[in-house]
Amino acid sequence: MMIWITGCSGMLGRHICEKLSIAGMPHIATDLEIDITEPSAVSDFITGNKISWVINCSAYTAVDLAEDEKDKAFAVNADGVKNLAVAAEIKGAKLIHFSTDYVFPGLKESGYDEKDKNGPESVYGASKLAGENEVISAYDKHFIFRISWLYGPYGKNFVHTMVNLFKERDELNVVNDQYGSPTYTGELADFIVRVVKDDSDKYGVYHFSGEGMTNWYEFASEIYRLAVNYRLIERKVAINPVDSSNYPQKAKRPAFSYMLKDKLYSTFGYRPKNWKETLEEYIKSIKG
Distance CA 190, CA 47 (A): 28
Alpha-carbon distance of 269 to 263, in angstroms, equals 9
Phi/psi-derived region of residue 173, left when phi > 0, alpha when psi is between -120 and 50, beta in every other case:
beta
In 3D, which of 107, 191, 112, 200 has the Cα closest to residue 148? 112
Catalytic member of 60, 102, 112, 124: 124
Does residue 124 carry a catalytic annotation? yes
Whole-number Å distance between alpha carbons of 145 and 184:
14
As a whole number of angstroms, the distance between CA 166 and CA 156 comes to: 16
- What single-letter DSSP state applies at residue 144? E
Distances (CA, A) of 148 to 36, 91, 111, 275: 23, 30, 13, 11
Q: Which of 106, 149, 105 is nearest to 256 (CA)?
A: 106
- The catalytic site residues sit at 124
